[in-house]
Chains A and B, each alone.
Chain A
Amino acid sequence: MYFSQCFGNHETIYMIRQYWWKILGVFLFTYVLIVGLLTPLKPGIYSVSHLTTSVGTTLPLDVQSYNTHYTKANKLRAWLKIDSIHILEASNIVVQSDNQLLVTLDIPAFLPNEQLTQAATLIIDNDYEGHSILPAAIFISKSKDTTNVALGHTLWSMSEMNNITHTKGFKFPYQNILNETSRNLFFHVAIWFAMFTLLIIALVYSIKYLMSSEMRYDIYASSLTSVAITFGIVGMLTGSFWAKYTWGQFWINDVKLNMSAVALLIYFAYWILRSSMKDQDQRAKVSAVYSVFAFAALIPLVFVIPRLTDSMHPGNGGNPAFSKDDLDNTMRFVFYPAIIGLILIGLWISSLSIRYEIIKETYYLRKAKKRTI
């Protein structure tokens, strides 16, 4: 009775007490864990033995691949590709094991252009499981005097690449260097998306508080922001760990990383601000205003500035995000449920914090009332 006197029988309180969306969140995240981890990757090329070669040589390329079964393949083909018209087919392919090939390439004596060095993409196709591509696998160099563009064009246009086998079944795309860690998309990236959504909801409640001065809006806003900051810390830690084994360091001097750290520090200050004030109304008002400013800073810091300049982090200036070939529909199938699942779990945790604050308020109000009665 007293509870509803203080906080009303509001729609939000009713929703907080429901279980269905909490179970849905857990179900979605479990689905993400299972499908995200068990789905295999498409076949890919892990490494090649030679990074450079010169014109007019026979190149015995030792190829290490990932997730392949070359001993089961009937037809194996390999090409070096410069662009859509200049392709060189391998003269011989020897299967050394399920994951290893010896590809012999007879590099023509001339390049089809005037460059001194040309990067070539390696493509391997096997009829058992599909094709794999290693972009800029080999750099072909020539000396200044051996230039004959016309002859080079003829020599490089002799092979054809057709009837490429497509991989059957539900498999995630293979990515160079990342390999299996592309699955971190479902955890690291989804957590940041969930954090951002929680902060938007917190912003809405902060503004509602400023307009109406109802204490419950402050409780909702602070709980949501707290959980969002926790998600931000987790996102930072997971990103840092991921970077250690793909970029080589736990932290690099990069725009996106530094700006995200600044944004997170601004939100840490929100916590410190709240804990520094004793008076409830003052605390609520100041933190609501700070919350608006912090969110207004978050947008340009995390989204706008990194895109204006070069960054190692995917999705920012000079570095394409997981897109087109990288994030095809197979990964989206798990990525979107991951975001929704994490948002729901974040909402569940913040609902627990909200209920705690409400019970505390009710208890202290009741205690205060008892003195006057």
Chain B
Amino acid sequence: MISSLNNRILKLFTITFALLLVANTQLAAQASEDFFHSIGKIYVVVAVIVITFIGICAYLFYLDRKITELEKKIK
């Protein structure tokens, strides 16, 4: 009996907490723009540099794999 009451209170608490959390994030999103718009959109520049770097590294990985296969063949 007591434990089922505790369960109910716990459920009510969890639901309220979750709702408040969702409401808070939505409120915050309305008040400020998202991450990439903050600080004059500097993170867009960061993302562009990361894309450039990963793109170049992707080609280097491809080259590396080709060389590894050739080394195996020669061995």
How many Cβ-Cβ contacts under 8 Å join chain A to chain B? 77
Q: B16 near A: Cβ within 8 Å? A: no
Question: Chain A nearest CB: distance from B56 CB in Å?
Answer: 7
Task: Give complex CA distance A188, B55 in Å.
Answer: 12
* Interface presence of A159 (CB below 8 A): no
**Partner among B41, B48, B67 whose Cβ is within 8 Å of the Cβ of A187:** B48
Judge if A184 is at the interface, Cβ distance under 8 Å: yes
Q: Is B59 in contact with A349, judged by CB distance below 8 angstroms?
A: yes
Q: Which of B26-53 contact A (CB under 8 A)?
A: 36-37, 39-42, 44-45, 47-49, 51-52
B41 to chain A minimum Cβ distance, whole angstroms, is 5
Kindly state the interface size class of chain A when it binds its partner: 35 or more
- What count of chain B residues pass the 8 Å CB interface test? 24
Asked whether A359 and B41 contact (CB < 8 A) given A33-B49, A237-B55, A349-B60, the answer is no
Asked if A180 and B41 sit within 8 Å, CB to CB, the answer is yes
B74 contacts partner chain A, Cβ-Cβ < 8 Å: yes
The 8 residue pairs across chains A and B that have the minimum distance between CB atoms:
A234-B55, A179-B40, A180-B42, A180-B40, A238-B48, A230-B59, A183-B45, A245-B44
Listed in ascending order, the chain A residues whose CB lies under 8 Å from chain B are 33, 37, 41, 46, 66-67, 178-181, 183-184, 187-188, 191, 226-227, 230-231, 233-234, 237-238, 241-242, 245-246, 345, 349, 352-353, 356, 359-360, 363
Could you list 24 examples of A-B contacts with CB < 8 Å?
A178-B41, A179-B40, A180-B39, A180-B45, A181-B45, A187-B49, A187-B52, A188-B48, A191-B52, A226-B59, A227-B59, A233-B55, A237-B51, A238-B48, A241-B51, A242-B44, A245-B36, A245-B37, A245-B41, A246-B44, A349-B59, A356-B70, A363-B73, A363-B74
